[in-house]
Amino acid sequence: MGRERDPFAEAAAEARHRLVAALTAEGALPDPAWRAAFEEVPRHLFVPSYHVGVLGGYERLRRDDPDPEGRRRWLEGAYEDQPLGTLLRGDELVSSASQPSLMADMLHALDVRDGDTVLEIGAGSGYNAALLCHRLGDARVTTVDIDADIADAARAHLHEAGHHPVVVTGDGARGRPDRAPFDRIVATCAMPSVPAAWLAQCRPGACVVAPLSTGVVRLRVEDAEHAEGRFLPTSAYFVPLRGPGAAVSEPRTGGLPRRALDSDLFRFLLTLASGSLDPYEAYALWQREGRPARERYGVTVRGGRQWAWLDDPEGPYSWALGGAGRLS
């Protein structure tokens, strides 16, 4: 018995084509393989309902809205270049569908090759896993989420879209050793540092693309104890990784000038170095170095240590990730 016919298929295909055309015009889809994935994977199947921010809270749009205008707004919103909140518990957003242009940036940075195996940390709606399945094949994709409800929903969405990767419930910081080794690891949740288990589950030469602070770092893995790379230019805001030791400390900001607090680039440095670098030192560094862009920063993991740095991993400015460190 075949899949149930999608009543929104025709309108969704037109909306998807407009989204891909806009992303292509912005230079976000230079690789034809990823362009084809975004053109053909139906995002609306992965967000049967979602929340969008409105003054004073959220508005929920859904596929089964009895009002035709509500269904139209739901479908159009599913193909706008914006993040969509997919699960609220109380007032807390615990899962979302990422902004398509940011997803495209991260997937291109992943630099996959035919035959690669990929581990995704944070199943979310399942849409990112579907894009990976389109590019690499279902059998080469594993996605994990700590929340059983989120994992179950992602699996259902993927099946509705015709994809069957391995979807598991578990702590993403532990990776998935029974499916290792991996050629690529991509995370769709923010974290304070790089879990050691990920590198141990990578083949030499693997690539890890993951959100840290308010950016995305791309690491090249040499072996189980050594990886290094720089941040992408783009800003990125993700739901935090959940699980033991996953909390990101909130930096102190009292007394800092408003022009710094209003700067996305300063906030990036402040959050990246939180717990290791005094906020006033961070501000002095940021000013002295010409308000550096994200791509000037990088991360090194070596011999059980990991640190962020500005310009040079062995240069004068470095600090430990996820704990007390140094500013030389």
> Which of 29-43, 65-79, 239-253, 303-317 shows the lowest per-residue confidence on average (mean pLDDT)?
239-253
Cα angle 308, 312, 314; round to 5: 80
* Element spanning 31, H or E: none
Rounded mean pLDDT of 126-144? 98
Question: 124, 145 in Cβ contact below 8 A?
Answer: yes
Active site residue 98: yes
**Assigned token pair, 258:** 């408003």
pLDDT for 92 equals 73
Domains of the chain (ranges plus CATH)? 9-231 (3.40.50.150), 258-320 (no CATH)
The amino acid occupying position 7 is: P
pLDDT at 327 over 50: no
pLDDT for residue 243: 58
Q: Concatenate the DSSP letters of all residues of 293-327 into one string.
A: -GGGEEEEEETTEEEEEES-TTSS-EEETTS----
- Confidence band (pLDDT; 50, 70, 90) for 34? very high
Q: Where is average pLDDT lowest: 8-17, 128-137, 280-289?
A: 280-289
pLDDT at position 96 is 86
Cβ(239)–Cβ(121) below 8 Å: no
Structural contact between residues 120 and 138, judged by C-beta atoms closer than 8 angstroms: no
C-beta neighbour count of 223 within 10 angstroms: 13
- pLDDT confidence of residue 19: 98
Instruction: Identify the pLDDT of residue 3.
Output: 61
Q: Can you give the pLDDT at residue 251?
A: 62
Q: From the candidates 49, 95, 96, 98, which is the catalytic residue? A: 98
The string of pLDDT tens digits covering residues 153-201 is 999 999 999 999 999 999 999 999 999 999 999 999 888 899 999 999 9
pLDDT at 79 over 90: yes
What's the pTM?
0.92
Query: Chain centroid to CA 21: how far?
Result: 22
Task: Give the residue ranges of DSSP H helices in the chain.
Answer: 9-25, 32-40, 68-78, 100-110, 127-136, 148-160, 196-200, 258-261, 264-272, 279-288
